[in-house]
Chain A
Amino acid sequence: MLEVIQDNWDLLRHGFVGTLKLTVVCGIVSLLLGTLIAACRVSPVPPLRWFGTAYVNLFRNTPLTLIFFAVALGFPKLRFNLSYFEFAVIALSTYTAAFICEAIRSGINTVPIGQAEAARSLGMSFTQSLSQIVLPQAGRAAVPPIGSLLIAMVRNSAIASAFNVTELMGTSAEMVENGYKSLWVLLWIAVGYLIITLSMSAALAALEKKLAVVR
């Protein structure tokens, strides 16, 4: 049971760091991309709005495994010869971004129109109203769902193991082939993921508490 960890410490650590790396990079990329698409989705320009809606509907209704499959097989065909880590970042981020976009949009939708009207009647400029009234409230409402989406993204990153990325789940194949009991191998890997996801949950809970306002 413990020898799995003792004997494979380097391998597991390597995988753990790989998952962390994937988490950080994909987290940043999908937040940026998600915000961009959300901006499209709520923009006053119809074509951008159509694009945003189409993107969200397409990616939310496509299995992540299929996106990985299409990226890993399709990009070489487009003569984009990137590393598998980059493929994984593209697949995971484009997928997560669709959900993040929706979280941001529903955050914006929670701000009643009266808030903007009140701001205007107080003589605030449009920029002031947006930056001081609307976006802070929308952001506060969007933080919890975005947090859980990022946690879901960590869990989804395990799929990258099937596409040649060095990460936590991917280390299991080597250990099992080397004769370690799959029960303990996978339990320790699960523990590795739990460390990441549960500490993210805790951080999120703390953040929510900080953002909470007494109404």
Chain B
Amino acid sequence: MSREASVLFDVPGPKARRRNLIIGVVGSLGLAAFLVFVIVRFNDTGQFESAKWDPFQYSGVQQFIFDGLKATLKAFALAAVFSILLGAFLAAGRLSDHRIVRWASTTFVTFFRAMPLLVLIFMLYLVPGSQGWWKWDPMWPLVVGLTIYNGTVQAENIRAGILAVPKGQSEAAYALGMRKTQVMTMILVPQGIRTMLPTIISQIVVTLKDTSLGFLITYPELLAAAKLIGGYQDYNMPFIPVTIIVGTIYVAMCMILSAFATWLERRLRTSRKGKPPAVVPPTQAELSRDNVAIV
């Protein structure tokens, strides 16, 4: 980007280059100073003492973190799959010819997208029991909450994908004698999902991140394990070490998924063998504001 022309700045001359160098050095020094400060403070408060890191050498503690990770991944896998299914369903509903279906899907999406996920998860955790409706393990309120919320976002993504499918595709399908449902399920939704795959995966990253809300409803996932270990007195309460370890795991998992999304996006954009892809995915800016992959 630096060598290319930018709308924001001219190609730097000698004076500007000198100025940039100074800003660069000062900025780097500032950041380095901040990092050093954090590390020194941690060191002063004994966060790097071996006693605080010792517990993590034991297989029992590692297993405990690993079990938390497994619980996180389990909830994530279920929620990711269900949310895409729900998303496809809602997207089809929003594009339905029946006004009632359209209206119901739109209301569902609007309502659950406007409400905090945490409120939804607590509803699912507390209400069925307190109303005497049914009982379930804390994993399900988390999975269902994540499914509903992310499903509404995925619905918008998939809808945008369906709308980006050229009209000729559905016209051709109709000409072949397919029915409306067939056109939707066999032609439009699959292509819509494929087109929007990068955005869908970005939202899956959000799903993964939000599994961490599970510790608030006693689901024993990764963050819950971290909290328990961090407060354990026999281990000298290693809050900072455990946060560093668990944080690394979360960030690594999310970054791998994000990188996959970016790679996929690039692949879908640049067609191979000079043949353009069937459907060009809309760029972020072309998408409506509803489609920005966010929390």
Q: Is B118 an interface residue (CB 8 A)?
A: yes
**C-alpha spacing A99/B212, complex, angstroms:** 19
Contacts of A40 in B (CB 8 A): 27
- The minimal Cβ–Cβ distance linking B119 to chain A, given in whole angstroms, is 5
B209-249 CB contacts (< 8 Å) to partner A: 209-213, 215-216, 223, 226-227, 230, 239-240, 243, 246-247
A20-55 CB contacts (< 8 Å) to partner B: 40, 42-49, 51
Contact B119 A190 (CB under 8 A): yes
Tier of interface size on chain A = 35 or more
CB < 8 Å A-B pair total:
199
Least CB separation from A194: chain B residue: B114
A65 with B38, Cβ < 8 A, contacts A73-B239, A73-B240, A148-B292 known: no
Contacts of A79 in B (CB 8 A): 41, 45
Tier of interface size on chain B = 35 or more
Chain B: interface secondary structure?
helix
* B interface residue numbers (CB < 8 A to A): 1-2, 5-10, 12, 16, 20-21, 23-25, 27-28, 31, 38, 41-42, 45, 47, 111, 114-120, 122-123, 126-127, 130-131, 205, 208-213, 215-216, 223, 226-227, 230, 239-240, 243, 246-247, 250-251, 254-255, 258, 284-285, 288-290, 292, 294-295
* A interface residue numbers (CB < 8 A to B): 40, 42-49, 51, 57-58, 60-66, 69-70, 73-74, 77-79, 99, 103, 106-113, 115-116, 126, 130, 134, 138, 141, 144-145, 147-149, 151-152, 154-159, 161-162, 169, 172, 176, 181-183, 186-187, 189-190, 193-194, 197-198, 201, 204, 208
The 9 closest A-B pairs by CB, nearest first: A144-B289, A61-B254, A158-B116, A182-B126, A63-B209, A63-B212, A65-B212, A155-B116, A158-B118
